[in-house]
Amino acid sequence: MKAYIEAHGCALNRGEALEFKSILRAAGWDLVSSPEAADLNVIATCAVIETTEKKMIKRVKHLSSAGKPLIVTGCMASVLRSKIEPLTSRALFVNPDNVAELCKAVGISERVNWTPEPTTNTFCHIVPIASGCLGSCAYCITRNARGELRSKSHEEIIDEISRIDFSSGVKEIQLTAQDTASYGADIGSSLPELLNELTSRDFDMKIRIGMMNPKTTLPILDELIVTYANPKVYKFLHLPIQSASDRLLAEMNRNYILYDFERIVTEFRNAYPELTLSTDLIVGYPNETKEDHLTNVKFLERIRPEIVNITRFSPRPGTVAAASENRVPGWIVKSRSRELTRLRFEISNRRNRGKIGSAIATVVTEKGSGNTMIARTENYEQVILPRSVDLGQRVRARITDCSPIHLLGYPV
């Protein structure tokens, strides 16, 4: 039997699809690169914004037209099923975070002795450590799709990682969840406890910790900073602010203020001056004023994050924010988004240019475009190297040039 699997959206969605892919392979299935060549097609959908939703609808139509059995999973299968069901008469819908149901649908046991594999063209494996969250953000449809926090046990996570062949494959482990900082709150554990357990094991790996909500990061801040000192942990912090306006943060129901965010960043940077900070901003949230926008501008100029994911507000069905009538006109949202994007690239480009001429230790983790490879520094910066460097190789790279989103170098 042959299967084609495609996954969209967040690392959690892709990690769940990767697990199912690995289980299918262990059960004797062939994984093919096109839906036309498959006996079964699977799509893990994303519903985070409207443009993504439209893309998912288009992909479901295409996969359904292949005339093969189709499984639709991911967030749209849970919260926007009514938009997909009319498009296909052959689809089976499986809610996210339900690998057991996926296995049942194809008649195999989830207990099959599967080997965790890297994502395509990389030496990176994604490990979902929890699904659902503790938040109730006014704009978020993912919370509706995945529900309450459900953390995996230490034993489950360690068992998965222990079956990885580090000697010939994976070099990077990406721990992912809707909110990794909330991990363990439902099972009497915590993210620092999990990290201490993982880094004490004899695993030849680097760990990238996924997105953390400032609200749930604050209670574990001191312990988390200590665990980051382990050389197996990338000095990378993904901490979404969403807005620098305390008024809008309250309307978003984020349950923290700007001061809380800045405290977390300051303490992390004091401990790890070369830390890579990634954050997210929603532009044009209902009731956003010119003053709120200027607050975001000043926030970027002051905090100077290395990575900023800027998203224009998209009303999602079933959320509180979708019912707001005080929308910001589209042309204003577009203008503000462009201004913040320009500033974000100016900040990151200035920082990257300061690294030209230096030699930096890296691990080669994936294939790049054309004749290039992608390596990661200790702080998870992206370094583009020539294809002559092998996947998994540890390389000291001389930085020769840069862009706002990566460094360019050659091995020395």
CATH assignment of the domain containing 27: 3.40.50.12160
Whether 46 maps to a domain, the answer reads yes
Instruction: Among 332, 353, 374, identify where a domain stops.
Output: 353
CATH of the domain at 366: 2.40.50.140
Instruction: Say whether both 264 and 390 belong to one domain.
Output: no
CATH number at residue 245: 3.80.30.20
What's the pLDDT tens digit per position in 295-309?
999 999 999 999 999
What is the largest distance, in Å, between two alpha-carbon atoms of the chain? 59
Can you give the pLDDT at residue 15?
A: 94
Per-residue pLDDT at 112: 78
pLDDT of residue 151: 98
Note whether 141 and 273 are same-domain residues: yes
Structural domain total, the chain: 3
Q: Does 35 map to a domain?
A: yes
Which pLDDT does position 233 carry in this prediction? Answer: 98
- Whether residues 321 and 391 share a domain: the answer is no
Q: What are phi and psi of 357, to 5 degrees?
A: 100, -20
Query: In this predicted model, which residue has the larger pLDDT, 317 or 89?
Result: 317
Q: With 80 as the cut, is the pLDDT of residue 4 above it?
A: yes
Same domain flag for 232 and 295: yes
Are 379 and 276 a contacting pair, CB within 8 Å? Answer: yes
Q: Are residues 58 and 129 in the same domain?
A: no
Has residue 117 been placed in a domain?
Answer: no
Does 118 map to a domain? no
Residue corresponding to tokens 């030496």 = 123
Q: Is the pLDDT of residue 18 over 90?
A: yes
**Residue 31 exposure: Cα atoms within 13 Å on the Cβ side:** 17
Number of C-alpha atoms within 13 angstroms, CB side, residue 351?
Answer: 21
pLDDT surpassing 80 at residue 111: no
**What's the pLDDT score for residue 396?**
96
Tokens of 73: 């999973």
Residue 320 pLDDT: 95
- pLDDT level of residue 180 (50, 70, 90 thresholds): very high
Q: Taking all residues of the chain, what is their mean pLDDT, rounded to a whole number?
A: 94
pLDDT band at 138 (very low <50, low <70, confident <90, very high): very high
Mean pLDDT throughout 246-272?
A: 98
Confidence check: pLDDT of 167 > 90:
no
Q: Which structural domain range is residue 201 located in? A: 124-353
Task: Tell me what pLDDT residue 89 has.
Answer: 78
pLDDT of residue 90: 79
Residues 186 and 298 in one domain: yes
pLDDT at residue 117, as a whole number: 87
Cβ contact 124:303 at 8 Å: no
Helix, strand and coil percent figures for the chain, each rounded to 5: 40, 25, 40
Q: How far is CA 321 from CA 150, 315, 371, in A?
A: 25, 6, 45
Confidence of residue 87 (pLDDT cuts 50, 70, 90): confident
324-348 pLDDT, tens digit each: 989 999 999 999 999 999 999 999 9
**Same-domain check for residues 93 and 137:** no
